Structure 1
Amino acid sequence: MELVSPETVVADPHNPRKTDPARLELVRLSLEKFGFLLPLYATNSGVLLSGHQRAVAARQLGWQLPVVFRQKDERDAHGVNLTFNRATNDFRLTDTDHSRLPIEALFSRLQDLPDAPDPYPCLTMEQWSVRELLSRNVDRFERYAANAARQLAAYNVQMPIVITPHGDVLNGVGRLQEASARRQDMIDCVVLKPDQDADLARFILNKLSMDFSFSDGFKDVLRNNAFRRARQRRRSLGSGYLFAFSVKRCRDFSIGKHRKELKALYGERLLDFGAGQGDEARMLRKIGVKVTTFEPYRAPGKKPTVTAGRRSAFRFLKAVSQQLPFSSVMLSSVLNSVPFETDREHVVTICAALCSPDTTLFAAARSRKDPNWKECSTGIGLGETSSRSARFVLSDEPGLAVSELNADPKIQKYFQPSEFEALFERHFGAVTIGEHINNVTAVCQRPHPVNPARLRKALEFEFDLPYADGRMGLVEEALAAFSKRLGVEL
């Protein structure tokens, strides 16, 4: 930890927090009254990872900053801000809306306190026994906070905890639990002074936070992270392919035994839009179904690359340009991973434009009956998957959650049937909505006439998608292919 000038560090452009002036003033006032109870964290080059608001407040006060500098990790631009935020505060799973603070009451209480005798109490940490602190704070254990702390520990960050002189944890109970799980004997503690207001310090440390507001840069990170993970390979057709057969469990459906039914339903040529790892397309090709795929975020290794995305796009656009007819268009689990509402609208716009009067579009996506959404939205019953990912709900749109904070944060959208119906009815004259294995489903026919301006906007988005190593850059090729196919000028 170093004491440095505020000019030594700069804000991370990917920081997904929107500064609220009233709350920022509370941050400044709390620094005056308690000092820096926790340090800030930054990369060796000075890009802040945690403590953006305190850095601004300290600059207003003319104070220096206590900063822990750490080696930049390749994941730093992919969610470290989210990880720090969830692990610094003792949040519960459902703690996401921070706009309802009793601002005036907090101002009044803070103003009545004397100024901190030491602006930098985090510089004089003490080592305390983990076992002793655990026994004293067992009633404050929070499974979600411990999981968030485990995510932070994966970055090799050992953030101190804040305690009273008697050992009551004011901030960092999750970090204490995580230290215990690693069988750590001692832990760094910042000890509040005996005459300081412990309850107010606890509230400030854990409840005073800014709301999420994803910048354009962070939105592109989330778009790029929408790829299907290598661990999520399919060994059988998913719900998006089988809901029309009323199959109760996908693994019980034999492609070989039902090849005639599959071909009869889906026809001669199928488009799999958002094909993931391509597993389902390969299964269907083996039984003689012609499948065209498009997967802009195919990840042949650990991450999607612009080269792999362009390769998939070129093959797809060739099929579009050749005016190959599609008897069926599949959107299987795709819309769950498309992070923003306008992006999902673009996807459906493109798919509808590829549908002839004889084409049927089949779509399926996780509904809000899905166990992962129930765990995330209610804050109870954390299962194994949830406990690994430290997911939490976003307030930007109903049914949104972000997960995998350490390994490329990913937004998941969970749908209500009414949302699915509204999305597809804007593009099709006949839409039938159903449910299948915690999914909402749609069968869509009679596409509306193409709106050239809307389609052009959708193609400009979809064929210039962002990657960690560049952008797709195929807008002109996409416009040409669709213009040729549809006989319109885009």
Structure 2
Amino acid sequence: MIKLVPITDVKASEYNPRKNDEKRLALTEMSLRKLGFLLPIYADTSGEILSGHQRHLVATRMGFTRIPVQYVNNMDLNERKTVNILFNRATNDLSKQDTCDKIKSRLYNMDIQSMCEALPDIDPDSEASFPCVYAIRRVDTTQLAKVNHRNFDSHIAALAKTLERSVGSSMPIVIGQDMNVVNGIGRLQVAAEAKRKFVQCVQVTKAQEEFSSAMLNLLSMDFSMESSYADVLRYNSFMRERNTRETDTEGNCAFGDGFFKGLFPNNNGRDFFKLEGEALEAWKNKYGDKIVDFGAGKLNNTRTLRNAGVFVSAFEPYFVTTGDTIHKEKSIEIANKFLDEVESGVEYTSVFISSVFNSVPFMEDRIKIAQIAAALCSPGGRVVCWCQSNESQQFVITKKHSVTNNARLTFDLDYEPNTVLGDISKHPKVQKGHTADELKDIFSRSFKSIDRIDMISKFWYLEATKPTVNPERLAEALDFEFNLPYPDGTTLGLADRARKVFEKRLGITLPGKEETGHGD
């Protein structure tokens, strides 16, 4: 139920991923002045805003004393951040390929002035300024669907359904005078497929339709995923339970592609439930017998190699057992064992970074991982990287015409080329498709020789040797990687120990945190 409450009863969250843009804030003000609140603000019962930050800010500036709010049950911090992203995407009728830049371009190419110059101003706080409260009405779902079914879109509907499940309610649908949907086509499709008799609608006038559509569907602030949401994307990079590979009758897991495709490109993981015989000898001749599994996921590949007699040091900061919950204590245990082995001075023959860069959200993070890999390889080892290319299916197909799994809903981001945000119903996760030049840029900073870079089944396979270690860059990388964030607000907390371990291993002194800019 939408309630009209004092505007001071709700407050902005500190992690909203949209960046304020004064030009679009001015359009938000124009929208409230000409249309009022067609849709409510969403907030939890403590008053923290989940959707409607810009409208709340602008309404405060305009002198509103009341604001329409739909309250939802309280959630933990990670749930609030997740639903905030959902609101930012699912309330606009946007298809998968509609990035912020594309939306902005479409909006700014419109003649907004002519759209609204004939519309009278609405007094703030008047009944007319709250149509989602005073002008809301029930409309027959079947009749509305018959008029609008040609505009149904499974991607938009799946987003709407996911949001509805997350908050426990569906926001009103905005319709025009001819029963055409102005905003909320996905919400209507969800209601029709659920065979609900009625939907809640707010009807705008013929004169308001074009302006309403622009404001409700295109007036979207840029996402700032690199700032307030950076940690969320980092700790949500863990391997999902659904991605676990098949096992044989003895419980052995199929070998990961990144560990064998460079040597056996025509085989698949099921051929190596056990790595043994001639295949094992060929593998050891190629990669050696002292390996780092960096970003080891559930340690399935680590176990396959250890069962074959290969020494493996595994590092996985986001270890998941069952379900999709990070086991922080086990992750710290794995990291400490890894540092023990690094400190022992074992000379690694190969460092594998397999499928890790697919979900590491930012280029600067990938560069730091490569720095650490160089320090582990030193003096004579190689790094092996396996990751999705920009030619992988999800980066080539800009629009899917059917969506069967809400957990895999994605939409394109534009802070880096070939990045999409998926799994937005629970744990928003970036997927990145790389170009050859991007990988060369990452590894040429820490390795003098990139010996091989091949595309195999739309994935890149890279080998690099002759590592170089820059103490300052290594210190920054260790401070980052061994102090990664967790959903509960804590961190891995092993940066100081990692510094000492690598100093001992390499026989160098790393610059202090103050010198690298990472002091308190």
Q: TM tier, shorter chain? A: over 0.9
1:243-287 per-residue CA deviation (whole Å, 9 max, x = no partner) reads: 212423523533335222222222121100000011111111111
Q: Distance in 2 between matches of 1:441 and 1:352?
A: 17
The answer as to 2:84 corresponding to 1:81 is yes
Counterpart of 2:399 in structure 1 is 379
SS at match of 1:65: strand
1-side partners of 2:414 and 2:144: how far apart? 35
The equivalent residue for 1:183 is: 195
Counterpart among 241, 254, 262 of residue 236 in structure 1: 254
Q: Which amino acid aligns with 1:312?
A: I
Match of 1:143 among 121, 144, 154: 154
1:58 maps to what in 2?
Answer: 59
CA deviations 1:164-184 (Å, max 9, x no partner) are 233111100011111122222
Is it true that 1:227 corresponds to 2:241 in the alignment?
Answer: no
Counting only pairs closer than 5 Å after superposition, residues 222-371 of structure 1 correspond to structure 2 as: 222-234=233-245, 235-254=253-272, 255-257=275-277, 258-301=279-322, 302-371=324-393
Alpha-carbon distance in 1 for matches of 2:46, 2:466 = 56
Write out per-residue CA displacement over residues 289-309 of structure 1, whole angstroms, 9 at most, x where no aligned residue. 111100011123432243233
1:322 & 1:355 partners in 2: Cα distance? 14
Q: Distance in 1 between matches of 2:426 and 2:268?
A: 28
Alignment pair present for 1:430 and 2:453: no
Cα distance between partner residues in 2 of 1:396 and 1:128: 40
Whether 1:456 and 2:475 are equivalent positions in the alignment is yes
Q: Is the 8 A contact 1:162 1:191 kept in 2?
A: yes
Give the Å deviation of 1:400: 1.2
* Aligned counterparts, 1:89-104, within 5 A: 89-96=92-99, 97=101, 98-100=103-105, 101-102=107-108
Contact 1:306 1:471 in 2 (8 A): no
The answer for the alignment partner of 1:15 in structure 2 is 16
For 2:353, give the aligned amino acid. L
Does the 8 Å CA contact 2:305/2:312 hold for their aligned counterparts?
yes
Is the 2:154–2:403 contact (alpha carbons within 8 Å) kept by the matching residues of 1?
no
Structure 1: where are the runs of 5+ without partners?
none
Conservation of the 8 A alpha-carbon contact between 2:173 and 2:185: yes
Which moves more between the two structures, 357-366 or 450-459? 357-366
Compute the TM-score of the two structures, normalised by the length of structure 2. Answer: 0.90
Task: Find the counterpart in structure 2 of residue 163 from structure 1.
Answer: 175
Q: Distance in 2 between matches of 1:110 and 1:390?
A: 35
Whether contact under 8 Å (2:35, 2:208) holds in the other structure is no
Task: Establish whether residue 402 from structure 1 lines up as the match of residue 421 from structure 2.
Answer: yes
1:166-220 Cα shifts (integer Å, max 9, x gaps): 3111100011111122222211111124x53212211221111111113634211
Q: Indicate the SS of the match to 1:16.
A: coil
Partner of 2:249: none
Aligned equivalents of 1:174 and 1:228: distance in 2? 30
Q: Could you tell me how far apart the structure 2 residues matched to 1:15 and 1:433 are?
A: 39
* CA positional deviation for 1:105: 2.6
Output the aligned Cα RMSD.
Answer: 1.8
Deviation at 1:38, TM superposition (A): 0.5
Cα distance in 1 for partners of 2:437, 2:97 equals: 24
Residues 327-336 or 350-359, more deviating = 350-359
Task: Give the secondary-structure state (helix, strand or coil) at the position aligned to 1:198.
Answer: helix
Q: CA deviation at 1:358?
A: 2.8
TM-score, with length taken from structure 1 = 0.95
Aligned length in residues: 485
Query: CA separation in 2, counterparts of 1:253 and 1:416?
Result: 29
Q: Sequence identity, in percent?
A: 36
Distance 1:249 1:91 in 2: 40
Other-structure match for 1:205: 216
Question: Which moves more between the two structures, 474-483 or 211-220?
Answer: 211-220
Distance (whole Å) between structure 1 residues aligned to residue 161 and residue 396 of structure 2: 22
3-state SS of paired residue (2:261): helix
Structural mapping, 1:116-131, within 5 Å: 116=122, 118-123=128-133, 124-131=135-142
Contact 2:18 2:224 in 1 (8 A): yes
3-state DSSP of counterpart to 1:330: strand
CA offsets per residue over residues 425-448 of structure 1, 9 Å max, x none? 221122111111221110111112
The alpha-carbon deviation at position 42 of structure 1 amounts to 0.4
**Alpha-carbon separation, structure 2, partners of 1:243 and 1:227:** 23
Distance 2:348 2:171 in 1: 55
> Aligned partners of 2:9 and 2:446: how far apart in 1?
52
